[in-house]
């Protein structure tokens, strides 16, 4: 049974899809024209250039330099604190900081390293037990850090301070990392723009007029601006990869279930947890494996073989140019060019053929996402709005919002209303879940141990503020991989002619993070990876 058969059995969905096709095309044209006209004469302005060379050292190299006493932890921490202070007033990315605690921890790291500087045995033991020793890190605000606020952008949680650490936070601390800040998110982490009524709106470090994305937008913006060495985000519908793309950095959505989710706010249902992942974000590809090895459950690190070498001469390369769906706009030339230059490079570098794919079921990404995310069931967004301590009257909030009397944004209120309008029958959900399983099986077998799929990061250039909200369905390019639970690296490819980040997604079979990170490292060497804002 193919997806077309599903639409034959659900005539309402079929006719909605037919009607939507021309309407969505016209809608996207009008939205693009409006924002293009609005910003036609707006001069691009971003964060000031990085002046401290310490901010160009990768986390992996920083650990080595610290161990050799070629670098001091306090100097590195101070360099990042200074950069946060320099850029954060404009990008609003870091929302909670504890500079003095970070400095104290850095001094302790330096003191201990001074004491064992001549003892190779102790150094080896230290780095094995604490692979992040002395390096600063930032973490998405919705992940609990003891002593830090954890609001998830929800107004009623504005004074909520965590009494415990999430498991991933505990693991990075045990590994020796120093937390210097937590970073902004959308309200309830439910939008692809990082804006809320607690902290405000996060901006893109390359162009203040453009979005930093969401829901890990604060993390992406701060790392992209050079205000963080690396960090931890979470991804339910592209929430690591879209901010990573928009802010020109690397982001890894691991295989589903690899990293524990406890301590993540809001807490979601068991079914939805199958699609939510916590993962690393960084400016350098090699730091992805370093951080993932620390935060992943031990039983999964063995499956991923993160520390073993990869022979890229044995790679198999596949690519897909776009999704054919009326629910999002057609892919732009800039996205196609990114895919084509990557497959051309891989084919040339490793003397392999790149195989173009057309996966029919992939074009129904949103339908599968809707079914598999169990949308339209409790807990509803209206319950999350009050921290699951009741239920909000969304229509009352919608009337109050234009007058600034609501604690919630209009976009979130409308999303909450739409969420309760279920359009799928239980039978439809079951059918779509079967299609998801079939597509995952097909791709897992195709990619196997040495195959990668190159896929567009997003169908259009980085949206302006507000534009992303009006074209949220473009996230189909990212949410498809949450549905399938496959590991994905968002890989930056430098800047385009407008000075904005470009990139592609690299998809692998389950537990094949090692291969896709290695491909990202190769592309970083070839195309430059993260490029500092100018």
Mean pLDDT computed over 10-33: 79
Q: Report the range of poorest mean pLDDT among 4-18, 58-72, 199-213, 383-397.
A: 4-18
Task: Out of 73, 162, 182, 215, pick the active-site residue.
Answer: 215
Residue 1 has pLDDT above 50, yes or no: no
Candidates 514, 486, 226, 523; CA nearest to 365 is 486
Please provide the average confidence, as pLDDT, over all residues in the chain: 94
12: left (phi over 0), alpha (psi -120 to 50) or beta: alpha
Who has greater pLDDT, 432 or 284?
A: 284
Cβ atoms 210, 204 nearer than 8 A: yes
**Is pLDDT larger for residue 375 or for residue 138?**
138
Asked whether the beta carbons of 305 and 316 are under 8 A apart, the reply is: no
Question: In this structure, how many other beta carbons lie within 10 angstroms of the beta carbon of residue 269?
Answer: 12
Residue 306: per-residue pLDDT: 87
Q: In whole angstroms, what is the distance from residue 486 CA to residue 443 CA? A: 9
Give all domains of the chain, ordered by start, each with its CATH number: 45-375+424-527 (3.90.1300.10), 376-423 (no CATH)
Residue 58 annotated as catalytic: no
When mean pLDDT is compared across 211-225, 264-278, 419-433, the lowest value belongs to: 419-433
- Higher-confidence position of 428 and 501: 501
Averaged pLDDT, 347-364: 95
Could you tell me how far CA 117 lies from the centroid of its own chain?
38
Q: Which one from 162, 182, 228, 239 is the annotated catalytic residue?
A: 239
Q: DSSP assignment, residue 485?
A: T
For residue 205, give the nearest of 82, 56, 46 by alpha carbon. 46
- Torsion angles phi and psi, residue 17, rounded to 5: -65, -40
* The token pair that represents 76 in the structure block: 């590195």
The gap from C-alpha 79 to its chain's centroid, in whole angstroms, comes to 25
pLDDT of residue 308: 84
Percent of the chain with pLDDT over 70: 96
* Per-residue confidence (pLDDT) for residue 309, from 0 to 100: 86
Are 490 and 241 spatial neighbours (Cβ–Cβ below 8 Å)? yes
Q: Which two tokens stand for residue 440?
A: 């995952």
Is residue 215 part of the annotated active site? The answer reads yes
**Distance separating alpha carbons of residues 389 and 391, to the nearest angstrom:** 7
Asked if residues 488 and 195 have their Cβ atoms less than 8 Å apart, the reply is no
**DSSP code of 50?**
P
Token readout for 351 is 């003397």
Decide the pairing of beta strands 354-356 and 316-319. parallel
This prediction's pTM? 0.96
Burial of 333 (C-beta count, 10 Å sphere; 0-12/13-18/19+):
exposed
Largest pairwise CA distance in the chain: 75
Assigned token pair, 72: 């001091």
Task: Give, to the nearest 10 degrees, the angle between helix 120-129 and helix 59-67.
Answer: 150
State mean pLDDT over 148-177: 98
Q: CA–CA separation, 177 vs 138, rounded Å?
A: 10
The three-state secondary structure class of 367 is helix
Q: What is the mean pLDDT of residues 203-232?
A: 98
Asked whether residue 428 carries a pLDDT value surpassing 90, the answer given is no
6 pLDDT tier (thresholds 50, 70, 90)? low
Question: Could you give the 3-state DSSP secondary structure of residue 474?
Answer: helix
Active site residue: 73, 140, 182, 228, which one?
A: 140
Contact 281, 249 (CB under 8 A): yes
Distance separating the N- and C-terminal Cα atoms of the chain: 52
pLDDT in tens, 501-532: 999 999 999 999 999 999 999 999 999 999 99
CB-based contact 175:131 (threshold 8 Å): yes
pLDDT on residue 4: 59
Any idea which of 76-90, 182-196, 408-422, 424-438 has the lowest mean pLDDT? 424-438
Pair of tokens at residue 20 = 């939507």
pLDDT of residue 271: 77
Residue 430 is a catalytic residue: no
């Amino acid at each position: 049974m193919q997806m077309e058969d599903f639409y034959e059995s659900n005539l309402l969905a079929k006719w909605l899809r037919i009607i939507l096709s021309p309407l969505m095309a016209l809608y996207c044209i009008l939205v693009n024209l409006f924002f293009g006209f609005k910003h036609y004469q707006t001069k691009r302005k971003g964060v000031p250039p990085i002046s401290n060379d310490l901010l160009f050292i990768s986390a992996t190299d920083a650990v080595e330099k610290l161990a050799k006493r070629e670098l001091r932890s306090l100097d590195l921490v101070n360099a990042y604190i200074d950069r946060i202070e320099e850029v954060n007033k404009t990008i609003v990315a870091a929302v909670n900081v504890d500079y003095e605690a970070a400095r104290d921890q850095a001094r302790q790291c330096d003191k201990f390293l001074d004491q064992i500087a001549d003892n190779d045995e102790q150094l080896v033991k230290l780095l094995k037990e604490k692979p992040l020793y002395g390096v600063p890190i930032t973490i998405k605000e919705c992940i609990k850090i003891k002593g830090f606020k954890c609001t998830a952008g929800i107004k009623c949680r504005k004074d909520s301070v965590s009494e415990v650490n999430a498991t991933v936070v505990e693991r990075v601390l045990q590994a020796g990392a120093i937390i210097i800040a937590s970073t902004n998110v959308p309200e309830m982490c439910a939008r692809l723009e990082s804006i809320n009524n607690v902290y405000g709106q996060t901006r893109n470090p390359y162009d203040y007029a453009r979005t930093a994305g969401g829901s890990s937008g604060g993390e992406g913006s701060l790392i992209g601006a050079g205000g963080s060495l690396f960090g931890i985000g979470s991804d339910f519908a592209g929430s690591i990869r879209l901010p990573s793309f928009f802010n020109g950095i690397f982001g890894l959505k691991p295989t589903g279930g690899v990293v524990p989710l406890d301590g993540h706010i809001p807490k979601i249902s068991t079914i939805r947890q199958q699609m939510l992942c916590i993962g690393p974000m960084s400016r350098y590809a090699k730091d992805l494996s370093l951080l993932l090895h620390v935060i992943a459950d031990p039983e999964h690190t063995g499956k991923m073989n993160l520390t073993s070498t990869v022979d890229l001469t044995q790679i198999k390369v596949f690519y897909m140019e776009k999704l054919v769906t009326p629910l999002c706009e057609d892919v732009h030339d800039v996205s196609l060019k990114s895919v084509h230059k990557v497959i051309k490079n891989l084919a040339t570098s490793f003397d392999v053929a790149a195989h173009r794919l057309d996966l029919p079921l992939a074009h129904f990404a949103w339908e599968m996402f809707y079914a598999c995310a169990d949308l339209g069931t409790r807990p509803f967004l209206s319950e999350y709005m009050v921290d699951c301590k009741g239920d909000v009257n969304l229509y009352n909030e919608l009337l109050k919002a234009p007058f600034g009397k609501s604690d919630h944004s209009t976009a979130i209120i409308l999303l909450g209303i739409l969420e309760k309008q279920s359009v799928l029958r239980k039978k439809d959900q079951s059918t779509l879940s079967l299609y998801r399983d079939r597509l995952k099986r097909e791709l897992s077998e195709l990619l196997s141990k040495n195959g990668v799929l190159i896929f567009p990061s997003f169908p259009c250039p980085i949206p302006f503020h507000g534009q992303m909200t009006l074209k949220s369905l473009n996230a189909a390019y990212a949410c498809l991989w949450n549905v399938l639970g496959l590991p994905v690296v968002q890989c930056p490819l430098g800047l385009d002619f407008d000075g904005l980040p470009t990139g592609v997604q690299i998809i692998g079979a389950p537990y094949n993070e090692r291969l896709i990170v290695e491909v990202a490292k190769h592309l970083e060497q070839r195309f430059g990876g993260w490029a500092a804002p100018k």
